[in-house]
Chains A and B, each alone.
Chain A
Amino acid sequence: MNNGNGRRLNGETEEDDDDEGSEGDLDAWERTYADERSWESLQEDESGLLRPVDNTTLYHAQYRRRIRSLSSQATTARIQKGLIRYLYIVVDLSRAAAEMDYRPSRMAVVAKHVEAFIREFFDQNPLSQLGLVTIKDGIAHCLTDLGGSPESHVKALMGKLECSGESSLQNALDLVHGYLNQIPSYGHREVLILYSALSTCDPGDILETIQKCKKSKMRCSVIGISAEIFICKHLCQETGGSYSVAMDESHFKELILEHAPPPPAIAEFAIANLIKMGFPQRAAESSIAICSCHKEAKVGGGYTCPRCKARVCELPTECRICGLTLISSPHLARSYHHLFPIVPFDEVSPSVLNDPHNRLPRSCFGCQQSFPNPGNKPSLRVACPKCKQHFCLDCDIYIHESLHNCPGCESFRHSKSPIATEE
């Protein structure tokens, strides 16, 4: 849609194409007409006046559908989410990645969003590890090994961005399969493939490889950038992953960030295990020690491994001397909200709103924003099914996406269900 060439969209009877040829990007001022098309965001309202499209309710409706579908998957029996994930990101650097339909090129956009994804991933999954693989000229290379530090991955990715040649899905899967077979059994094996090409040139039978991956319980997901390819769909269906195709840059970003929270773990996959971990103390500010990661003397502000007393600079990490995984309790706590998700809020129906017998709160419980008067418009408030407090739509989104606490339930000690088993 945002192609420099593209002017034929949506069947509007625009003037017959001026043959401007297929080259040349538009200037910025031109882009506002060709690409952003601000006039399209206007709509006529009931009285015939032009108004900008009310995106917020649309956005909110989409969001709610998504949350509902996610929570319906979780159901009453809690599905255990894969909390210790070993994820490989496979970036397709074949010829197709040099296409310019994303600005400046597919490759650059993909790299940018992968960087954002890496940070988000480690934010949401502090105990997990990530690795990068690229496909170029039909061969898959391992760019970085599985590791827990975002910086090294990002640096490696930004360093090597050239694309050429064909793409081979089978080679990538084989490579990743080899690596993922070596990880401990309690970890969840995942692969995220960012595929720009439209075909795959494989040396052998890719269907066999897919079966192999399925047997090893690797969950492969694909985000397509050009169009829907059967083999990718098949791969995702067989291994239990998700396949989506991005329509444009912002959609791509959304899709890739959807993979940051842990997926519902297919329960048989991971073997439960007790993992030995250490909780180091933070050293006092004035202590001096030689840190084991940089091999130089540092003042204050580090952590001491409880087993071998080596100093490390940041958490979470693996102690270089004795191999113990070192974390702090907040890291574990960061993942607790996946295990104890809050219920989605229900929409307050207009009939309840218009009923004169109901005494409705006039402002949102969370942010104190006052509600507009209920009219015939779709309801703009939601209520928590447990504490029955009313919230505005924006608080709803914030609570479910970021905060993971219902302020109403937290603010009343003796609400309907005791706090201890709440959420």
Chain B
Amino acid sequence: MPSAPTKLYADDVSLLVVLLDTNPFFWSTSSLPFSKFLSHVLSFLNSILLLNQINQIVVIATGCNSCDYIYDSSLSTNPGIENGKLPALCSELLKKLEDFVTRDEQLNKQHSLPPTTTSSSLLSGSLSMALCYIQRVFRSGPLRPHPRILCVQGSSDGPEQYVAIMNSIFSAQRSMVPIDSCYIGSNNSAFLQQASYITGGVYQKPQQLDGLFQYLSTVFATDLHSRAFLQLPKSVGVDFRASCFCHKKTIDMGYICSVCLSIFCKHHKKCSTCGSVFGQAQSDVASASNLKRKTPET
């Protein structure tokens, strides 16, 4: 798309980066079929593009073994209609998505994951990629759209991604990029709740998945500037409690190791993560093998 003239870059131009969860383990057990889901999402994306001539959309797929860019609206050449078929937006996107899912599944076979485990999707990966893309947009100069991220996620949280996701959240907070979350799984996702709370985005768990498009277009379609005029769903009950490293139960009072900040529920003599002995000055640093990064589950 050629760059638009200056006067069109008003406050309400947005760049929306959508992180689509394509984790087959989730979709195989979901009540909403994937194809229906896609139609909701595609209509939503189209409506975004209609809201403003220079809105931009980037779609990143979050698989269970990999993540990749699927679609970038600023790159497509001709959004016109071809022979009465679906507009190019959809066909491109769908094709790429299909390719991605196939590749992702192949990686599954390669690493022979037992089919019974519900693995999580690589949310940290797609978040990181989204943030890198957004940084690039920031660098392009003062005339640019206002970026935000929308996570459409169904898989449950992977506790091993805790630190990476928190890093991404803090980085987004520093760059003032809100992360909206539309969670279509069964229980609430604590990671996404925290993400939206910290970055100032909106977290929504739609009650009825049949009307997903309605939820998307009413809650998540507005640009950042106009959100000030709307009553969006407030965050209710974000659970900031930590869970201890030793039992993984949620605690509201605990003990922190001053060296590595691991959380324990009772007093220990020695920290299991970094090996420091409490009450004594350290004389050597922990070796890498000792250090295990256990992440609390929240």
Chain A 367-378 interface 0/1 with B at a Cβ cutoff of 8 Å (1 = within): 111000000000
Q: Which of A28-36, A244-252, A324-332 contacts B (4 or more CB under 8 A)?
A: A324-332
**A268–B240 touching, CB < 8 Å:** no
State whether the Cβ of A66 lies closer than 8 Å to any Cβ in chain B. no
Our pick among A284, A366, A419 for the contact of B236 (Cβ within 8 Å) is A284
Task: Tell me the count of chain A residues lying within 8 A, CB to CB, of chain B.
Answer: 68
**A405–B167 touching, CB < 8 Å:** yes
Q: Which residues of B contact A404 (CB under 8 A)?
A: 167, 171
Per DSSP, are chain B's interface residues mostly helix, strand or loop, or mixed?
mixed
**A306–B253 touching, CB < 8 Å:** yes
Cα distance A278–B254 in the bound complex, in angstroms? 6
Cα distance A404–B252 in the bound complex, in angstroms? 28
In the assembled complex, how far is the CB of residue A413 from the closest CB belonging to chain B, in whole angstroms?
5
Q: Which residues of B contact A123 (CB under 8 A)?
A: 174
Task: Tell me the count of chain B residues lying within 8 A, CB to CB, of chain A.
Answer: 81
**B166–A330 touching, CB < 8 Å:** yes
State whether the Cβ of A135 lies closer than 8 Å to any Cβ in chain B. no
Q: Which of B43-51, B60-68, B87-95 contacts A (4 or more CB under 8 A)?
A: B60-68
State whether the Cβ of B267 lies closer than 8 Å to any Cβ in chain A. yes
The residue on B at minimum CB distance from A406 is: B128
**B132–A403 touching, CB < 8 Å:** yes
Q: Which of B3-11, B27-35, B142-150, B275-283 contacts A (4 or more CB under 8 A)?
A: B275-283
State whether the Cβ of A63 lies closer than 8 Å to any Cβ in chain B. no
Cα distance A336–B167 in the bound complex, in angstroms? 8
**B281–A332 touching, CB < 8 Å:** no
Given contacts A366-B129, A410-B124, contact A268 B281 (CB under 8 A): yes
Given contacts A77-B287, A410-B125, contact A280 B252 (CB under 8 A): yes
Cα distance A276–B198 in the bound complex, in angstroms? 24
Q: Which residues of B contact A337 (CB under 8 A)?
A: 163, 167
**A281–B125 touching, CB < 8 Å:** no
The residue on A at minimum CB distance from B194 is: A330
Q: Which of B205-213, B218-226, B256-264 contacts A (4 or more CB under 8 A)?
A: B256-264
The residue on A at minimum CB distance from B239 is: A281
State whether the Cβ of A271 lies closer than 8 Å to any Cβ in chain B. yes
Chain B 141-161 interface 0/1 with A at a Cβ cutoff of 8 Å (1 = within): 000000000000000000011
**A402–B174 touching, CB < 8 Å:** yes
Q: Which of B208-257 contact A (CB under 8 A)?
A: 234, 236-242, 251-257
Q: Which residues of B contact A420 (CB under 8 A)?
A: 160, 292-293
**B174–A411 touching, CB < 8 Å:** no
**A368–B69 touching, CB < 8 Å:** yes
Cα distance A324–B268 in the bound complex, in angstroms? 19
Q: Which of A79-87, A141-149, A229-237 contacts B (4 or more CB under 8 A)?
A: A79-87
State whether the Cβ of A279 lies closer than 8 Å to any Cβ in chain B. yes
Best-surrounded residue of A335, A369, A410, A423 (most CB of chain B within 10 A): A410
State whether the Cβ of A76 lies closer than 8 Å to any Cβ in chain B. yes
In the assembled complex, how far is the CB of residue A136 from the closest CB belonging to chain B, in whole angstroms?
35
Q: Which residues of B contact A282 (CB under 8 A)?
A: 237-238, 240
State whether the Cβ of A272 lies closer than 8 Å to any Cβ in chain B. yes
Q: Which residues of B contact A179 (CB under 8 A)?
A: none
Our pick among B132, B241, B267 for the contact of A395 (Cβ within 8 Å) is B132
State whether the Cβ of A339 lies closer than 8 Å to any Cβ in chain B. yes
**A394–B242 touching, CB < 8 Å:** no
Our pick among A80, A332, A395, A421 for the contact of B259 (Cβ within 8 Å) is A80
Q: Which of A393-423 contact B (CB under 8 A)?
A: 394-395, 398-399, 402-407, 410-414, 419-421, 423
Cα distance A368–B70 in the bound complex, in angstroms? 11
Chain B 267-298 interface 0/1 with A at a Cβ cutoff of 8 Å (1 = within): 11001001011111111111110011100101
Our pick among A280, A399, A410 for the contact of B122 (Cβ within 8 Å) is A410
Given contacts A79-B285, A402-B174, contact A279 B253 (CB under 8 A): yes
Q: Which residues of B contact A405 (CB under 8 A)?
A: 124, 128, 164, 167-168
Cα distance A412–B119 in the bound complex, in angstroms? 13
6 extra interface residue pairs, beta carbon distance < 8 Å, beyond A80-B276, A272-B279, A339-B260: A77-B288, A186-B258, A336-B166, A366-B129, A403-B168, A407-B125
B interface residues (Cβ-Cβ under 8 A, vs A): 64-69, 72, 107, 110-111, 119, 122, 124-126, 128-129, 131-133, 135-136, 139, 160-164, 166-171, 174-175, 194, 198, 234, 236-242, 251-261, 263-264, 267-268, 271, 274, 276-288, 291-293, 296, 298
8 nearest CB pairs, A to B: A366-B132, A411-B125, A186-B258, A272-B276, A410-B125, A333-B166, A367-B136, A407-B128
A interface residues (Cβ-Cβ under 8 A, vs B): 76-80, 83-84, 123, 127, 186-187, 267-282, 284-285, 306-307, 324, 328-330, 332-337, 339-340, 364-369, 394-395, 398-399, 402-407, 410-414, 419-421, 423
Q: What are 20 sample pairs from A and B whose C-beta atoms fall under 8 A apart?
A: A78-B285, A79-B285, A80-B260, A80-B274, A268-B281, A272-B277, A274-B256, A277-B253, A277-B256, A282-B240, A307-B253, A330-B169, A365-B129, A367-B136, A410-B122, A411-B67, A413-B66, A413-B107, A413-B119, A414-B107
